[in-house]
Each structure stands twice: as structure tokens, then as C-alpha cells.
Homo-oligomer: A and B are copies of this chain.
Amino acid sequence: MQPTRLSILGVGLLGGSIGLAVKAARIPCRVVGYGHRKETLDRALEIGAIDESATSSKAAVKGADLIILCTPVGLFEQLLAEIAGEIPDRAIVTDVGSTKRSVVKLGEQLVPKSAHFIGSHPMAGSEKRGVEFARADLFQGARCILTPTQRSPNEIVAHVEWFWQKLGMTTTRMSPAEHDRLVCDISHLPHAVAAALISMQPDAALPLAGKGFLDTTRIAGGDGTLWRDILSDNADNLADSIKRFRGQLDEVLKLLAPDKRDELAKWLNQSAARRAKLLAEKLRELDT
């Protein structure tokens, strides 16, 4: 069930953390890393995130039984086209991309029938980038969504689940479309909202920012080009989420009327209670 040779394509925060987490979980497999910058690969070797580095993506997947795409989503097409002819028979290819419809479509098109593509989205990360921020415990307590299709044999999906669970995550299965819709609401919309909150501030307000504002906008500190790829790829869902969110703001405007004071308090208390329940559930997940 477990891989003997793991190929990590793109050794940044996520790729590097996968390598470190594999070592920490004592999965006895050889880890080979590929990236376009030699310094990054050297650093990954140095911290023990990978056992060997490859100078091309083709070389990196040679003999691998598990291949994980860890570059930004925008590079997946090129990467899959490069490695397509070199993917060993029966190898499993998966990824860590934040969108799944386009990625799974590409994966199922470009990975040969002799191998398998299963989409994954480990929901862990940081607004920071680069292997220097990689951590063996990055995935502990996080959730990983797998997006199998009719073309995904159940035992292959189970292999991938086993792998992510070994790294400390809880796994969930859903369709690529459901993934993109739900993750849009809980992750892509908040990113756009946080960026909009920063961008609409008058210069005079910024010096008054406290810890609250910094927390609210933390996710918008992430790399803009990487997030552009995610938001563009999920543009139809994001447009829908923004419109529903705008509708919610219109409700808030109504609740600001002097005769709606009780309803405003009720709505604020309901949001606070919903978040408190969510936080309690997340803390329980981390505990177990």
C-alpha cells in the first residue's frame, strides 16, 4: 500500500512539508524532489525534506509509484505534459492544488491510462512561501479533500487517502465540482474579501489598525500571482459567492435601521455562536 519511491514536483512550502512529514511518519520510501531552482533543491536536501534531487521533471518521476504535483496550479498543465510519457505503469499521480475541476480534467487527460490521477487538496498552508517555511507538522489535524471521479478505482483512492492520513490529515471525498463550490465559499471568497478590506482602506485609517484587522486580513498576505491562478480558475463559483456575500451585506445594511436593533444583536450573536461551534469542532479534531 505504501509508496516506495515518492516524487515531489515543486519543493516549496507544501512539497517540502510533505517530504518532512513522510520522514516524521516513518514511511520507508525514497523521496525525490524536482524544482526549477537549484538552491531550493539544495535547501530541501539539507533539511532532509528530500533524499535526492532531480534536474528535470522527467527524471524526477522515473521509477516513482507516487507522484505529487506541488507547484502552483498554473504550472500543472506544462508539468503534466512534460512527465506524461515517463509516468511508470500503475503509478498514482495526485496534487495539492486549491481548485479541482480543471486540475482533475487535465490529470485525467494527460496521465496515461496505465497509471492513475486522483485529485487531492490538503487544506493546510500558510501565507508564507518556500521550502524554508516547510514543517513536518504542517498537515497535522488538517483536512484533505480527495476528488475521485468515475474513472478512479476505489482501491487507488484508498491508497491516496492512506498516504494523507499518515501525514496527520482527515480525508473527505467529494466531486471536483462540489469541492470547487464549497472551497470557494470557505476559502476563495474570504481571500477576495480580505484583499478588498485592505484595498478599500483610506491611508489615514491604516495606522489605527489593531490585531483584529491584521488577523482578518492575514490570508490576503499570500502571493498574488498564485492566488490569481486559483481565483481565475474558480471564477464562476467566486462570482456566485461574491454575489451571495453582497446580498448578506445588504441584509446588514437593513439591520442598521434604528427599529432593527434587536435583530442586529440576534444576527451578530448567531454569527458568533456559529463560529464558536466551528472552533470547538476544529479544536476537537486537532485533539484526536
Contact = CB atoms under 8 A, between A and B. Distances in A.
A75 interface: no
A197 B193 contact: yes
A261 interface: yes
Secondary structure call for the A interface: helix
Contacts of A185: 200-202, 205
Contacts of A205: 182-183, 185-186
A239 B253 contact: yes
A182 B204 contact: yes
Q: How many subunits of this chain does the assembly comprise? A: 2
A231 B258 CA distance: 11
A100 to B, nearest CB: 12
Contacts of A177: none
A215 interface: yes
Given A186-B213, A268-B195, A256 B238 contact: yes
A275 B217 contact: yes
A209 B282 contact: yes
Interface string A176-202: 000000110111011111111111111
Contact of A224 (B225, B266, B278): B266
A87 interface: no
Contact of A196 (B213, B249, B266, B272): B249
Interface stretch (A15-23, A48-56, A240-248): A240-248
3 A-B pairs with the lowest CB-CB distances in the bound complex, closest first: A224-B269, A224-B268, A228-B265
15 contacts: A172-B207, A185-B200, A190-B197, A196-B252, A199-B248, A199-B271, A206-B274, A209-B278, A209-B282, A212-B219, A220-B272, A223-B272, A224-B265, A235-B256, A242-B249
